[in-house]
Amino acid sequence: MVTITIFVGQGPYTAERPFTALRFAYTALLDNNLVKMFFVEDGIWCLKKGQDPANIYKIEEWVQKCIDEGAEITACGVCMKGRGMADTELMAGVKKGTMEMAVEMVKAGDKQLFF
């Protein structure tokens, strides 16, 4: 078992990187690894509750699957503020974080990835 820290910096429907990151995280969790995810920049929009795009994967469902399997999911507070996202817009189970928290995640992790 390893601890994997994953950073996501792209919005949910501009490319498939966030979807790929979440599928990777979910697979790692099912393999009994610890996963910590830190969403930065436009990646924070992946964590906005209530999104319902037509005819495409629902990123909110994948975030929830990861949370249900034990992933720690954090949104960058500075990125949220800069984009006008309120704390109340975050999905349940997601916490708002700081860059200091991101540094601690990297230090505690065995592997780090950026999507």
Angstrom CA distances, 107 to 78, 83, 103, stand at: 21, 27, 6
Q: What are phi and psi of 65, to 5 degrees?
A: -60, -40
pTM equals 0.95
Q: What are phi and psi of 56, to 5 degrees?
A: -155, 165
| Number of domains present in the structure of the chain | 1
Range of the domain at 91: 3-49+58-114
Helix/strand/coil percent split, the chain, to 5: 45, 25, 30
The span from the CA of 78 to the CA of 113, in Å, is 21
The span from the CA of 80 to the CA of 3, in Å, is 26
* DSSP-based three-state secondary structure for 26: helix
pLDDT per residue rounded down to tens, the chain (115 residues): 999 999 999 999 988 999 999 999 999 999 999 999 999 999 999 999 998 888 888 999 999 999 999 999 999 999 999 999 999 999 999 999 999 999 999 999 999 999 9
Q: What is the CATH number of the domain that holds 90?
A: 3.40.1260.10
